[in-house]
Amino acid sequence: MGEARLPLTTLSEFPEPPLTKTQEELSRSLQDEISKGNITIQQVRDRLTINMVDRVLFDSGQAHVKPAGIKVLQQVGSILSAISDKQIRIEGHTDNVPISTKLQSRFTSNWELSTARATTVVRHLIEKGGVDRQHLSAVGYADTQPVASNDSEEGRASNRRIEIVLYPKDLKQIAGELK
């Protein structure tokens, strides 16, 4: 008896995963900032992370977006506004250097600074980028999730960042939408 053979298929017969398309669109739109080393985009399984070093968006110790940062957030927002099947979490991160005395009246610690920056980015994505607020959340991590050592200025600069993380919606929420 001969083996039953399945017909060969080509990759073009399968739809491209939505995040891969999103990653490509973001990479094209943000090419200038990526080439300067200010932004990286990484996809791991069903999660896409856009990592922006803080100097792109904010001055030191501030939570107001700089004009160049507004342009970047508008580019990101124009792409994220088309996404409806993912949650988008904006994460604020800092280095481990304590907030200076002159800024402590505004930000008591890096917790407040990281959270303020994350919520500022959320507000810009909603107001200027047209991203649906139902898909967004903000969280501040202060210095608890470093990506580099805080022992050098270069490492501290890498740790001061905003990450925009796209991940699958909660299954309960999806089930509720189907009803």
Q: What pLDDT was estimated at residue 141? A: 98
Residue 12 pLDDT grade (very low, low, confident, very high; cuts 50, 70, 90): very low
Total length of the chain? 179
The fold of the 16-178 domain, in CATH, is: 60s Ribosomal Protein L30; Chain: A; (3.30.1330)
Domain residue spans in the chain? 16-178
CA distance 142 to 95: 7
| Residue carrying the six token digits 């740790």 | 159
Q: What is the pLDDT of residues 95-142, one digit of tens each?
A: 999 999 999 999 999 999 999 999 999 999 999 999 999 999 999 999
Rounded to two decimals, what is the model's pTM?
0.82
Q: Tell me the pLDDT of the chain averaged across its residues.
A: 86
Mean per-residue pLDDT, 52-79: 92
CA distance 125 to 79: 10
Complete DSSP assignment for 11-77: GGGSPPPHHHHHHHHHHHHTHHHHHTTSEEEEEETTEEEEEEEHHHHB-TT--SBPHHHHHHHHHHH
**151 or 47: which carries more pLDDT confidence?**
151
pLDDT over 70 (residue 175): no
